[in-house]
């Protein structure tokens, strides 16, 4: 089998510890070392997705606030228009009374007179 003359040498191979995971500190963030890590670069699409979602969320919030503000303005305008409508209807009812119409005709001097003969119904 093996002869005594053969000498097998074994290299003393020690497992080199893999690069220990370092915690991310403020210093790494400020000097940009965090962006050069492999773990970060594989997560870039996820971070971009999160940034896009944040922008959409903020835009949606501004849009909602704008709609609420416009809704409140329209409610105030509806209240004002309703009050104006009621006032106009009351004035129209007052002006269209028979006594008021007679006063207006006399004041403007149109020369019209009220009929003293009641209207007759025509039968076929």
Helix (H, G, I), strand (E, B) or coil at 116: coil
Look up the pTM and report it.
Answer: 0.50
pLDDT, residue 8, reads: 65
Angle 79-66-58 (CA atoms, 0-180°, nearest 5)? Answer: 155
Answer whether 80's CB lies under 8 Å from 87's CB.
no
The per-residue pLDDT of the chain, averaged, comes to: 84
Answer whether 73's CB lies under 8 Å from 67's CB.
no
For the ranges 22-36, 74-88, 89-103, the maximum mean pLDDT occurs at 74-88
pLDDT, residue 2, reads: 55
To which residue do tokens 């004002």 refer? 80
Give 95's contacts (C-beta < 8 A, 6+ positions apart): 101, 104
pLDDT band at 12 (very low <50, low <70, confident <90, very high): low
């Amino acid at each position: 089998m093996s002869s005594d003359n053969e000498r097998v040498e074994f290299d003393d191979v020690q497992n080199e510890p893999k690069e220990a995971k370092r915690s991310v500190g403020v210093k790494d963030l400020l000097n940009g070392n965090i962006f050069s890590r492999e773990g970060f670069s594989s997560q870039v699409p996820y971070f971009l997705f999160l940034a896009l979602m944040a922008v959409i969320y903020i835009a949606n919030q501004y849009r909602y606030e704008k709609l609420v503000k416009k809704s409140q303005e329209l409610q105030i305008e509806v209240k004002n228009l309703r009050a104006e409508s009621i006032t106009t209807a009351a004035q129209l009812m007052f002006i269209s009374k028979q006594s008021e119409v007679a006063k207006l005709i006399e004041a403007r001097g149109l020369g019209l007179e009220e009929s003293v003969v009641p209207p007759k119904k025509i039968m076929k």
